[in-house]
Chains A and B, each alone.
Chain A
Amino acid sequence: GQQVMQIPQYQHVQEGEDFTTYCNSSTTLSNIQWYKQRPGGHPVFLIQLVKSGEVKKQKRLTFQFGEAKKNSSLHITATQTTDVGTYFCAAREAGSYQLTFGKGTKLSVIP
């Protein structure tokens, strides 16, 4: 079945530092989504990327979709304590109905 690798598994940063999580697939993706799960909460949709090379920004968050549509990244500039949580990518392979989640990157922000 489809596999989505996400790294790193954990990241501890000092408040104000930047943070990046990466998502990789061995197959070409139709689209990729990013979700955030706060401790004790449920995943909440952040964004969807569809086009090759697409870059989208949401305030301090920058999302990229690779040219080959096999990888994606989420970059947070100047982290804040409110950014704490686990960030998941969720990918859909071309021709598939399944939305497969990566294992997530757990972000801790030290004030």
Chain B
Amino acid sequence: DSGVTQTPKHLITATGQRVTLRCSPRSGDLSVYWYQQSLDQGLQFLIQYYNGEERAKGNILERFSAQQFPDLHSELNLSSLELGDSALYFCASSPVGGGQAEAFFGQGTRLTVV
């Protein structure tokens, strides 16, 4: 158990809908990363937050947004969902920001868009 909690574990929704994925980082970790992993694909970096502020942005679609709250948990919002958004979404946390230290991954949320 990495200490990073992601909910829900599985999500099935229809095209055009909006969903929210939640991540609770390890106790004490200030940095949260979001990654998207499609079938047999690598981990695509979406966005990173550090202590509530956006630190780095990857190839995140405009339909996607995220935030980190004062209690350090983070949410990834995906809207106007398309079939191609079906993927495994991972959240990871780290004690420091900027990829300078080990990232601890949650179990992921598997999103299926039908």
B58 to chain A, nearest CB (A): 6
Assign chain B's interface to a size class. 20 to 34
B98–A33 CB distance below 8 A: no
A1–B58 CB distance below 8 A: yes
Name which residue of chain A comes closest to B91, CB basis: A42
A22 within 8 A of B: no
B42–A96 CB distance below 8 A: no
Complex interface residues of chain B between 84 and 114 (CB less than 8 A to chain A): 90, 92, 97-108
Complex interface residues of chain A between 94 and 111 (CB less than 8 A to chain B): 96-104, 106
Complex interface residues of chain B between 28 and 64 (CB less than 8 A to chain A): 33, 35, 40-45, 48, 50, 55-56, 58-59
A97–B42 CB distance below 8 A: no
Task: From the candidates A30, A48, A98, name the one contacting B102 in the complex (CB within 8 A).
Answer: A48
Interface of A, secondary structure class, is strand
Assign chain A's interface to a size class. 20 to 34
B2 within 8 A of A: yes
A98–B42 CB distance below 8 A: no
Task: From the candidates A30, A33, A97, name the one contacting B55 in the complex (CB within 8 A).
Answer: A97
B43–A97 CB distance below 8 A: no
Name which residue of chain B comes closest to A29, CB basis: B99
Contacts A1-B58, A42-B2, A43-B43: A97 and B99 contacting too (C-beta < 8 A)?
yes
A92 within 8 A of B: yes
Task: From the candidates B48, B97, B99, B108, name the one contacting A31 in the complex (CB within 8 A).
Answer: B99
B interface residues with partner A (beta carbon < 8 Å): 2, 33, 35, 40-45, 48, 50, 55-56, 58-59, 90, 92, 97-108
Per CB-CB distance, the 3 closest pairs between chain A and chain B, nearest first, are A99-B99, A103-B42, A92-B99
- What are 8 inter-chain pairs, A to B, with CB distance below 8 A? A30-B100, A43-B90, A44-B2, A45-B102, A97-B55, A98-B99, A100-B58, A106-B40
